[in-house]
Amino acid sequence: MKTVKIKLLIVVLLFLVSSSTSYSQDENKRPKYITVTTGHWNMDYENFDKDKWIAVEKEFLDNVTKKNEHLLGSFVYLHRYTPDNSEVIFVNAYDSWEAIDKANKRNGELVKAHWPDEAKRKAYFKKKDAYYSVNHSDEIYAPIGKAKQLKPEDANKELIWLVVKSHFAFPEDGSKEEFDSLTNEYVDNVIKKNDKVKGYFQHGHAWGSDKTEFLRVFAVESMEDLDQLGKTNGDLFKAYKSDETERKEFGKKMEKYFTPIHGDFIYTSVPELSK
């Protein structure tokens, strides 16, 4: 596979003070845990064809993933603008911690049921695994606060996904109650009123390399919509809190929960490979 040179796009997003998936609209039915596996393309794979890759992965999706009752959802995202163009992101959603182990066991059962012949089974996975490097990493996150769920008609589209990775500062004068109140207020009065935001999700660290991680995930239809995201959020926030002093006070309260460091990652969803 040849590396495609992409012109760097700098997206300035002014969150908070200025600025997967389709689950039920019922907040109580959202997944409890989300696993994120960051895989990597085999960059030496010759004559890569995206449609053929999707067809290979879809055989596993249709015969294993979609039949696994312990798996609430499964999604695939491709690098668009990130530091590593080899990234392939695999996301799975579960309703409990125990379901993660149960789903893995069930996958094994379903694999043997669909490919009972060992030779054919090995041949399929050799073909499937050839697309990827042996290197990967795993993280587990837990949904936090409110979300803006994708509508069914949007869940089947190829969307642009912005992942903003921030880090908690754990202030001594902070509390979970205040943090939840602030973020929920912002989601209700800004994010949910921004028509360009098709979906929005917040995830905190549950297991992995960095307990400070806090992810905000935005789904939009185009890069043009992404460019306007910060300005539109800022305008909506000003409309909600017209008093500048109130806006600054809100921003000051929110900012204390995070370090000054954050990173932005942009991916494209692959709707053909979604459960």
Could you read off the pLDDT of 236-253 as tens digits, one per residue?
A: 999 999 999 999 999 999
- 103: its two tokens: 């789903």
Let me know: does 149 contact 31? Beta carbons within 8 Å.
Answer: no
Q: Write down the pLDDT at residue 208.
A: 87
Question: Which of 58-62, 145-149, 153-157, 224-228 is least confident?
Answer: 153-157
Q: Reduced to 3 states, what is the DSSP secondary structure of residue 100?
A: helix
**Residue 42 and residue 39: Cα distance in Å, rounded?**
10
Domain 27-273: give its CATH code. 3.30.70.100
Can you give the residue ranges of every domain in the chain? 27-273
Q: Write down the pLDDT at residue 239.
A: 97
Q: Reduced to 3 states, what is the DSSP secondary structure of residue 45?
A: coil
pLDDT per position as a tens digit, 90-127 = 999 999 999 999 999 999 999 999 999 999 999 999 99
CA distances (Å), origin 173, targets 93, 170, 176: 33, 9, 11
Other Cβ atoms less than 10 A from the Cβ of 12: the count is 10
**Residue 215 and residue 141: Cα distance in Å, rounded?**
9
Question: Does residue 2 surpass a pLDDT of 50?
Answer: no
**Residue 115 and residue 165: Cα distance in Å, rounded?**
39
User: Locate tokens 């409110």: which residue?
Assistant: 146
Question: Does residue 76 surpass a pLDDT of 80?
Answer: yes
What is this structure's pTM?
0.85
